[in-house]
Structures are given as C-alpha cells and as structure tokens.
Amino acid sequence: MTMRRIVVVGNGIAGLTACDSLRSAGYDGELTVVGAERHHPYSRPALSKALLHSGDGNSDGDGNSNDGLRAHELPEPTHDATVLLGVSAAGLDIEARVVRLDGGGELPYDGLVIASGSRAKRLAPRQGAAGPRRDGSPRELTLRTIEDAIALRQRLADRPSVLVIGGGPLGMEVASGCLEVGCEVTLVSDVRPLSRQLGEHLSGIFTTAAVRHGLRVVGGGKARFIDSDAGGRVALADGTELEADLVVTAIGDEPNVEWLTGSNLLVDGQLRVDSRGRLRSDIVAAGDVAAFPTRRGVERIPLWTSAIDQAKVAAIGLLKGDAAPEFNFQPYFWTEGFGLSLKAVGNTAVVGAPDYCEPGNDPDSLLLCWGNQAGSGTAVAINYRIPIPKLRRLADAGPGALRPAAPLKL
Ligand SMILES: Cc1cc2nc3c(=O)[nH]c(=O)nc-3n(C[C@H](O)[C@H](O)[C@H](O)COP(=O)(O)OP(=O)(O)OC[C@H]3O[C@@H](n4cnc5c(N)ncnc54)[C@H](O)[C@@H]3O)c2cc1C
C-alpha cells in the first residue's frame, strides 16, 4: 500500500528521528506528530546533568530557561510535519486506522509510528487508573520532563537535605547534581550503586568517587514512601526510616502504553516489535515504549541512542517492509557524576576486573576493556579522551587489540 498519511505519536527523540528518517528516505506525504508535551523535542539526558546544577536556575516556568542554559535544546525540527503540541493520543483503532485524540478528534493514517516513550516510576501509590498519569504524592519528586527539571532546580536553590531513592545512573546523576549545588545528600540503593548497569568493578570506581564527594549511601532494602505533610520520609525494608527536606525517586521507568489498551497490540502489557520495528505492516514502534529482539531476548532498552537507532530502523521498516534492514543493536551508554564522565560501548554490565586498563593523563582517567564470550568486548573510557568510533572499534576487536600493553591491576 502506498503511504500518503503517516502519524507519529510521541514527540521525543524517537518521534523526531522517525520523522527525519521518513523524510530522508524520500517520504513526501502528510506527516502529523502528536506530542503530549508542549515543547519541541529536547535532550532528556541533559536534564540530570548540566541543566540540574549549572547557572542560577531562573526560568520563565514554561520550560524555557532564561539564564543562558541551553544544554537540553536540540536544533529546530526540519521534517516539515504538522506538529500537535500538548495533544495526547487517547486510543487507537487498528482496523479503521485511526488515532483518537484526547480532545475528541481523530487522525486517520496509512502508517503509524508509536513513539510515546515512558514515564518515571513512582514509590507513592497511584491514585487513578488511566492516562499518562501525574499521580502519586506531590512530595515525591521524579525527573523525566523539563518541567520536572525546573521544579527540582528551583527546590535546590534553598540547599535542602535530599534523599535520592535508586542507585542507577539517574539516581547517581541526581545525587551528584544535588551535592554540586551544596546539598546534603543521602542515596538509598538496595545494591551497590550502578552495579546492575555497570558491574561491580565500575560501580566501585563510581561509588568511591561519590563517597569522596560527600555522598552518604544507605542500603536497607526496598524503600516505601511515607506521605506526610511534614516532608519527605521513606521506610526501608529493614525498618530504617529516613527523612529529608526533599525526596527524589529514580527507580526506573514504565512505558506509556495505556492509550493502546484495547488495540490488540499489547502482549502482556508490552509493545513487542520485530527486528524491523514492526507490530504490523502499517504500524511500527520505537524508543522507550518498545521492546525489541536482542541477544538476551525481547526487551526494552530505554536509552537515548537506542531510541534513535530503533526509530531509524522502524521508519524504513514502515516504508519498505521486509526489504528494510534489520536492527543491529550497538549498545552505547554514557553517564556523568562526582567528577567522572564515563562512555561505554558494548554490554556495560561487565563481570570481574577489566582485561585491559590504561591510565590517561589525568589522575581519574582510564581506558578499560573487557572481553566477553560472544566475541566482541566492552570498551569504557572514564575521563579519557577518545572518539566514540575508536571506542567502538576497541569494543568490536576486544581487549586483545590493545595488547601487548601490560594489563594494570587497579
Ligand atoms: C533525566 C534523564 C536522563 C537520562 N540520561 C540518559 C543518558 O545519560 N544516556 C542515555 O542513553 N539515556 C538517558 N536517558 C534516557 C533517554 O533520555 C531516553 O531513552 C529517551 O529520551 C527516549 O526517547 P523516546 O522518544 O523513546 O521517549 P520520550 O523521551 O519519553 O518521548 C516520548 C514522548 O511522547 C509523549 N507521549 C506519551 N504518551 C503520549 C500520547 N498518548 N500521545 C502523545 N504523546 C505522548 C511524551 O510526553 C514524550 O514527550 C535519560 C532519561 C532521563 C529522564
């Protein structure tokens, strides 16, 4: 079927990339983007990095920082789509090929890209069933949108004591940003911070740096939010209760799929695409909302470059079907905090000590490589200047590429 009307639901990086990729592939028909946020796409990763702790935090309250801080901004879209900002898709009829909008309108399509992303999980219980929810307690802060980032920056201006729940990359970045502006910060994590994402070795490097910067790390098991007017309180599984002026939770994300209820596209609540991003010949999905086939099975990988790469594949999958190339996922991850900046190519949950370790010019600077059983390896640069393509070549070649340099013991 010739596509003349394509609708993209979601105006994040996956939606933006899908639009750009459709145009680059020669699609010149109608393109309509439905975006629940009132902003053009911006960089979410910047929200927990430079944006959190640089500048004075002034803004016009509308997502537009007026202090010269532009870390989250992306170039103006050039895909020439009709963009409906502040409008949500509320339902989908895959037989009639229409997206229903929350305001009551409908958008017919020949092809549909689902890129509705995900939202922050919360500790406080939900208060309502439907929609991309603003539920939970107002005293529990999360960080997903530009509004969340601005609200957090404003709260940090008074240098409150902060309790960060979650020892993943987001929790650690938030903790680092809060320390940087002068807050007293406690991070609650049921395992050593970053160990699930980066393995014990890299977790050790980051946790040591974090403690050196003043972070207090607390275990104690699963946390429960206690909602009280007095402030933020959290109870841990071992009975410990913690209190702070501000509680920020960073306990993962959940996909925005509620609007697809009843569409027959969800399997066990998941949107599982094939290796070309397809759910059907006329519907593709990409980004944080989608679970795709990887070597470890079908899974969501809610990361920035994963969203971009999935969206490129899905756009071509929509236009060309089986003639489109399959997705060849190349993991790339970065994080910053506590004076460290890490870039990693390959599977980051590395096991054991590195097979190769080379110090750089600065005291904290390291280039590390791990082999893995599947052949290719993982290459990690911490405060180490190396272009990403070179890091990728190192990961592909494995640590053997760096020998005969002698491995160092850390
Ligand atoms: C604070 C933060 C820091 C991060 N740092 C990193 C990092 O350092 N490295 C990294 O790799 N990744 C990082 N990530 C993850 C990365 O930002 C995401 O993987 C990426 O933004 C996903 O893009 P997306 O377009 O799939 O989804 P989203 O960015 O979630 O965009 C989806 C859009 O769809 C909209 N939407 C939802 N439902 C509807 C609907 N029904 N109708 C219309 N629109 C809808 C949403 O409002 C949203 O605007 C970070 C994420 C956060 C929150």
- Per-residue pLDDT tens, the chain, 410 aa: give them: 789 999 999 999 999 999 999 999 999 999 999 999 999 999 999 999 877 776 644 444 444 444 436 778 898 889 999 999 999 999 999 999 999 999 899 999 999 999 999 999 998 876 544 444 445 677 789 999 999 999 999 999 999 999 999 999 999 999 999 999 999 999 999 999 999 999 999 999 999 999 999 999 999 888 999 877 777 889 999 999 999 999 999 999 999 999 999 999 999 999 999 999 999 999 999 999 999 999 889 999 999 999 999 999 999 999 999 999 999 998 999 999 999 999 999 988 899 889 888 888 888 899 999 987 666 789 999 999 999 999 998 888 766 666 544 444 44
Query: Is any atom of ligand 1 closer than 6 Å to the C-beta of 288?
Result: yes
Q: Is it true that the peptide bond before 404 is cis, omega within 30 degrees of 0?
A: yes
Q: Look up residue 44 and give its two tokens.
A: 């979410």
Whether 92 and 155 share a structural domain: no
Q: What is the pLDDT of residue 232?
A: 80
Residue after which a domain boundary falls, among 323, 341, 361: 323
Q: What is the pLDDT of residue 234?
A: 93
Residues 296, 302, 303, 309, CA torsion sign: positive
Q: What is the pLDDT of residue 135?
A: 57
Whether 91 and 149 share a structural domain: no
Alpha helices in 99-194 (DSSP H): 146-156, 169-180
Can you give the CATH number for the domain in which 282 is found? 3.50.50.60
Query: Is any atom of ligand 1 closer than 6 Å to the C-beta of 41?
Result: no
Q: What is the pLDDT of residue 371?
A: 86
Whether 262 and 386 share a structural domain: no
Domain annotation covers residue 407: no
**Residue whose C-alpha is closest to residue 29's, from 19, 16, 15:** 19
User: What total number of domains does the chain contain?
Assistant: 3
Domain annotation covers residue 59: yes
Residue 204, amino acid: G
Q: What is the pLDDT of residue 6?
A: 98
Whether 112 and 128 share a structural domain: no
Domain annotation covers residue 12: yes
Whether 234 and 89 share a structural domain: no
Whether 68 and 191 share a structural domain: yes
Q: What is the pLDDT of residue 299?
A: 95
Q: What is the pLDDT of residue 52?
A: 76
Residue after which a domain boundary falls, among 323, 353, 378: 323
Beta-carbon neighbour count of residue 351 at 10 Å? 12
Q: What is the pLDDT of residue 20?
A: 98
Q: What is the pLDDT of residue 132?
A: 42
| 195 CA to centre of ligand 1 in angstroms | 23
Please give the number of the atom of ligand 1 that sits closest to the Cα of 286: 26
Whether 308 and 338 share a structural domain: no
pTM of the predicted model as reported, rounded to 2 decimal places: 0.92
What is the Cα–Cα distance from 286 to 208, expressed in whole angstroms? 36
| 67 CA to centre of ligand 1 in angstroms | 24
Whether 64 and 174 share a structural domain: yes
Structural domain including 368 reads: 332-399
Domain annotation covers residue 409: no
Domain annotation covers residue 405: no
Q: What is the pLDDT of residue 375?
A: 61
Whether 151 and 222 share a structural domain: yes
Domain annotation covers residue 408: no
Query: Is any atom of ligand 1 closer than 6 Å to the C-beta of 12?
Result: yes
Domain annotation covers residue 102: yes
Domain annotation covers residue 219: yes
Whether 152 and 66 share a structural domain: yes
Angle 58-60-62 from CA coordinates, rounded to 5°:
125
Whether 304 and 394 share a structural domain: no
Whether 70 and 81 share a structural domain: no
Query: Is any atom of ligand 1 closer than 6 Å to the C-beta of 166?
Result: no
| 96 CA to centre of ligand 1 in angstroms | 29
Query: Is any atom of ligand 1 closer than 6 Å to the C-beta of 9?
Result: yes
What is the Cα–Cα distance from 99 to 106, expressed in whole angstroms? 6
Cβ density class 230-263: b for 16+ within 10 Å, e for less: eebbbbbeeeeebebebbbbbbebbbbbbbbeeb
